[in-house]
Amino acid sequence: MSASLQSLIDSGTKLYLDSVEPSEIDQNLKWGAVGATSNPAIISGIVKAGGFDDRIDALLSEGHDDEAIAWALTNELVSDAETKFASIHESTAGNAGWVSFELDPILEDPEQNLSASDIASRYIELGKQWAAGHTNRMIKVPATEAGLLALEELAAAGITLNVTLMFTADQYHAAREAIWKGAQRAAESGVRSLDQFKSVYSIFISRIDVYTQKELPNLSADAQGHVGILNAKRIWKENQEFWADKNLKLEQELIFASTGTKSKDDPPWKYVAALAGSDIQTNPPATNEAVDASGKTFTSEVGDMPSQAVQDEVDAALDIKGMHKFLMDEGVDKFVKPQRELLAIISAKREELTKQA
């Protein structure tokens, strides 16, 4: 591990990897990563690279359709990552060593024409299915209307949750309250002790700055490109304060997600540095590589807020509701498309392997 990565971890950050590709997991374990997360785009990239042709062939011969193959491969990759992080999960008594498994994004596709309650019911069913038998798997649910509706029942069933696709404080509040209510129900019913309760809330960072650069071009240089950081730090502070008096054994944490920079003018560790010092950063492989090679010493900055003048400028200029709607519409689209692309890749592999047979 480089001195830069060591300093990031020493600052108090738990380093997670935004991938379950086996070789990347191995490398990032050496770099001090203590968890990982998965999504359909990640699975698509792994499958597209061709490393799973033999497994797809075997699943095809068993008569599985494309969707069943997609979920079988996802489950296997996430399970393999769970095995690699199992010792960390055990040594931290469940405070780290988790791997996230994302539920079916296609449920959120507007073309499916499903009601929020119908989607929520399906999330509950799938969450129970994919959590069963796993000790260090987090079930990842989006902070959509349907996802938020599903959280209390999932938590009441004793399932450890990662709420994703979260941009604004209102999403965080709704998710936190639902999960905490469900966790207390689980404890009261004997399903899971509060000593085993763990939850995380994935706050997306860089997409907010992409939005403000387009929609609020007149922000000052001190504010532009820092709105996502300000938003995350405010929610982090709220999260710290809410759980402080709950006397829980495990930390209820934010995941700082979407930490890869989008502007060529920004150093690749911009968000890593700004949010160093607490909770979890789930970084793309390239971001962790850049941190490793940076030569930078990271210190805790997550509690450092921008000047009051910058905060006032952002608060006056930013339409939170408008940003929320735009980013969620865009986010759902980015949520759904990779799963459809994964199914298309498997369909193409099916055709390719069938021709070779």
Marked catalytic residue, from 14, 84, 128, 140: 140
Q: What does the chain come to in residues? A: 357
Residue 305: how many other CB atoms lie within 10 Å: 14
Pairwise CA distance, residues 131 & 76, whole Å: 13
The amino acid sitting at 144 is T
In contact, 188 and 232? CB cutoff 8 Å: no
Q: In 3D, which of 120, 91, 117, 115 has the Cα closest to residue 104?
A: 120
On whether the CB atoms of residues 163 and 257 are closer than 8 A, the answer is no
Q: Residue 216: name the closest of 204, 227, 232 by CA.
A: 227
Report whether 320 contacts 168 (CB < 8 A): yes
| Cα–Cα dist 309/303, whole Å | 17
Task: Please list the helix, strand and coil fractions of the chain in percent, rounded to the nearest 5, in that order.
Answer: 60, 10, 30
Q: What is the dihedral sign for C-alpha 319, 324, 325, 329?
A: positive
HSE of 21 in the Cβ direction (CA atoms, 13 Å)?
Answer: 19
99-102 and 35-37 as β-strands: parallel, antiparallel, unpaired? parallel
- Concerning whether 140 is annotated as a catalytic residue, the answer is yes
H or E element that contains 323 = helix 320-356
Q: Which pair of tokens denotes residue 157? A: 């069933």
Active site residues: 140
